[in-house]
Amino acid sequence: MNTAYRFIRAMGCVAALLLTTTESAMASSLMLLSPAQVAGRWTFYVKGGEQDACTVTLKKDRTFSAQARCLQAWLGRTPTRWSPTPDGLLLIGKDGSQSLFLELREPGCYEGSVDGTKTLVMKRTHLQSVD
């Protein structure tokens, strides 16, 4: 019995190690986009409210065009900076705190949950990058 218990315990450790290794490999395979790759014109809207969309320019210096004021209606404040992450994009407030995390859904499309009730969508308008 003791040998069987040791074998099962060892197999459990091996399975845990394989799972951890696979998760690490998958996380490290995500590519962090440069600010130049993300910069450009993007359309923001809440799912189901596409008629209220606004277009904002994300600049290469990780700031926004003045049109970013339209985001205040959904976020409760206007973000002043943005930062790419391996799996999405952070919108950052003036005080440096996170305003919203937008998850990459597909190339040129990000989504984030606002107040747990609405989904804010960010779609690339066109592939022109801006300074």
96-123, pLDDT tens digit by residue?
888 899 999 999 999 999 988 999 999 9
Contact between residue 122 and residue 43 where contact means Cβ atoms under 8 Å apart: yes
Q: What is the pLDDT of residue 98?
A: 85
- Higher pLDDT: 52 or 31? It is 52
Q: How far apart are CA 61 and CA 126, in angstroms?
A: 19
pTM here is 0.72
Mean pLDDT of 79-96: 94
Statement: residue 127 has pLDDT above 60: no
* Mean pLDDT of the region 74-87: 94
Mean pLDDT of 2-27: 52
Per-residue model confidence (pLDDT) at position 20? 45
pLDDT tens by residue, 32-45: 889 899 999 999 99
**Residue 61 banded pLDDT, cuts 50, 70, 90:** very high
Q: Given this model, what pLDDT does residue 33 score?
A: 83
For residues 80 and 88, what is the distance between their CA atoms, to the nearest angstrom? 17
**CA dihedral (99, 90, 37, 94) positive or negative:** positive
Residue 84 CB contacts under 8 Å (≥ 6 apart), including other chains: 32, 33, 34, 35, 37, 38, 90
H or E segment to which residue 46 belongs: strand 40-46
At the topology level, CATH places domain 35-124 in Lipocalin (2.40.128)
